[in-house]
């Protein structure tokens, strides 16, 4: 059941008759929006094709409040952000409170009041006909409340380039994850012998497993506050629907570049938005690789289907991996592959710890008394 906000309750007073005044062009008083999205270091402009939903409540000077807008679509019309289907104008007296979310959906949030904003059993993706998960490109956001607004403001003019409007600062409700992958090195020349070895590493499969794609978000606030309090740990609750998602889109796999040559890491298919969640043993990355080695004697051999499974909450060899995907965080994982055995975890950038060495020894002579010969 939807809950809609009535900010205060008091008897509706009769409005005084309006005095006759000189007409003013209504377009100057149309309600517009100043839109920006929240980033870690700075506020950035929201994409121009965004359509978000807004709710508003008008309070007259006597303190009576009525719902004004209910899940109205707001989008960019020309250079300005305005309601799309209906046009609204600023009243001569009183003030308006606004609560917005993005993107617009027909039903709106599960609950929206002055003190609560909820999305229940929200899903970030779909399962296709073959049972595979399709990553979702929808950026669920919620805006700070804009309270006691009386006219179009200019708070975010520098950011959005819009002349004026209701200040609407969005925060990302989801987390966003992506993966980059690279080989530590793909060739090595030994200093002593000057012999050269090369490798080719092809990632045939990279699967993200155990990521939850459904959950509940409950934001709280005091009626007079403009900001929302996020859930404990900035993670959602009632997590469900874990998936396995293939990050490799190329049929023949992905040939890795070399970190040693300062080449650009390969972007795997971006998973995108995920439910903010605590990481445990379930969230894993599984790589299947072919490693081709060409030795100094021109002998080439391939190790097919080399498989490694890494828990994302620890990383390989206990690296300082994060333990949670939080709201409003974009997490980029960089995966480095050492093409040799990797006997020394502290020596990833060259193969010197994996040089084939020999441990020679000789079995002691067995002394046998052949005979005593008397001549």
Residue-level pLDDT at 44? 74
Torsion-angle region of residue 117: left (phi > 0), alpha (psi -120 to 50) or beta?
Answer: beta
pTM of the model: 0.83
Quick check: 17 pLDDT over 90?
A: no
Average pLDDT over residues 169-177: 94
3-state secondary structure 50-103: CCEEEEEEEECCCCCEEEEEEEEEEEEECCEEEECCCCCECCCCCEEEEEEEEC
Alpha-carbon distance of 105 to 2, in angstroms, equals: 13
3-state secondary structure of 352: helix
Distance of CA 32 to the CA centre of its chain: 29
Quick check: 126 pLDDT over 80?
A: no
Quick check: 6 pLDDT over 70?
A: no
Residue-level pLDDT at 19? 35
Lowest mean pLDDT among 82-91, 119-128, 251-260, 271-280: 119-128
Decide: 123 and 131 in contact? Cβ < 8 Å.
no
Determine what percent of the chain falls in helix, strand and coil, rounding each to the nearest 5: 5, 45, 50
- Average pLDDT over the chain reads 86
pLDDT interval class at 136 (50, 70, 90):
low
**Tens of pLDDT, residues 57-68:** 999 999 999 999
Tokens read off for 46: 């929201």
Alpha-carbon distance of 35 to 190, in angstroms, equals: 58
Residue-level pLDDT at 31? 85
Tokens read off for 321: 């991996």
3-state secondary structure of 322: coil
Residue-level pLDDT at 261? 96
Are both 27-103+139-173 and 176-215+237-354 of the same fold? yes
| Among the four given CATH numbers 3.40.50, 1.10.3470, 1.10.540, 2.60.40, the one describing domain 27-103+139-173 | 2.60.40
Average pLDDT over residues 232-246: 94
Decide: 322 and 234 in contact? Cβ < 8 Å.
no
Residue-level pLDDT at 2? 43
Class of domain 176-215+237-354: mainly beta
Average pLDDT over residues 197-221: 96
Residue-level pLDDT at 5? 37
Lowest mean pLDDT among 18-32, 54-68, 113-127: 18-32
**Tens of pLDDT, residues 275-293:** 999 999 999 999 999 999 9
Residue-level pLDDT at 78? 87
Give the start-to-end residue ranges of the domains of the chain: 27-103+139-173, 176-215+237-354
Close Cβ partners of 19 (under 8 Å, ≥ 6 residues apart): none
């Amino acid at each position: 059941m939807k809950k809609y906000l009535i900010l205060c309750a008091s008897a509706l007073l009769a409005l005084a008759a309006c005095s006759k005044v000189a007409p003013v062009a209504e377009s100057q008083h149309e309600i517009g929006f100043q839109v920006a999205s929240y980033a870690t270091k700075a506020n950035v402009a929201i994409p121009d094709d965004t359509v978000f939903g807004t709710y508003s409540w008008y309070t007259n000077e006597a303190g009576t409040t009525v719902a004004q807008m209910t899940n109205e679509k707001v989008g960019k019309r020309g250079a300005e952000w305005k309601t799309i289907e209906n046009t609204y104008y600023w009243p001569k007296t009183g003030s308006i409170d606004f609560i917005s979310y993005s993107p617009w959906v027909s039903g709106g949030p599960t609950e929206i009041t002055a003190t609560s904003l909820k999305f229940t059993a929200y899903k970030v993706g779909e399962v296709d006909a073959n049972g595979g998960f399709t990553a979702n490109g929808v950026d669920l956001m919620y805006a700070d409340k804009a309270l006691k607004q009386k006219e179009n403001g200019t708070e975010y003019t520098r950011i959005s380039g819009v002349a004026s409007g209701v200040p609407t600062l969005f925060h990302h409700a989801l987390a966003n994850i992506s993966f980059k992958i690279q080989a530590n090195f793909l060739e090595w020349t030994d200093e002593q012998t000057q012999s050269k070895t090369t490798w080719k590493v092809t990632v045939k499969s990279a699967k993200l497993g155990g990521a939850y794609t459904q959950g509940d978000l409950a934001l709280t606030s005091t009626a007079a506050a403009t900001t929302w309090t996020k859930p404990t740990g900035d993670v959602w609750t009632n997590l469900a629907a874990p998936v396995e998602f293939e990050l490799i889109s190329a049929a023949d796999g992905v040939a890795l570049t070399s970190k040693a040559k300062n080449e650009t890491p390969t972007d795997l298919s971006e998973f995108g938005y995920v439910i903010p969640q605590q990481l445990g043993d379930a969230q894993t990355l599984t790589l299947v690789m072919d490693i081709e080695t060409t030795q100094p004697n021109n002998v080439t051999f391939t190790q097919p289907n080399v498989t490694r499974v890494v828990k994302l909450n620890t990383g390989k060899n206990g690296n300082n991996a994060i333990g949670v995907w939080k709201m409003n965080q974009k997490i980029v994982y960089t995966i480095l592959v050492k093409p040799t055995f990797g006997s020394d975890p502290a020596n990833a950038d060259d193969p010197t710890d994996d040089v084939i060495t020999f441990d020679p020894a000789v079995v002691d002579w067995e002394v046998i008394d052949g005979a005593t010969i008397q001549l």
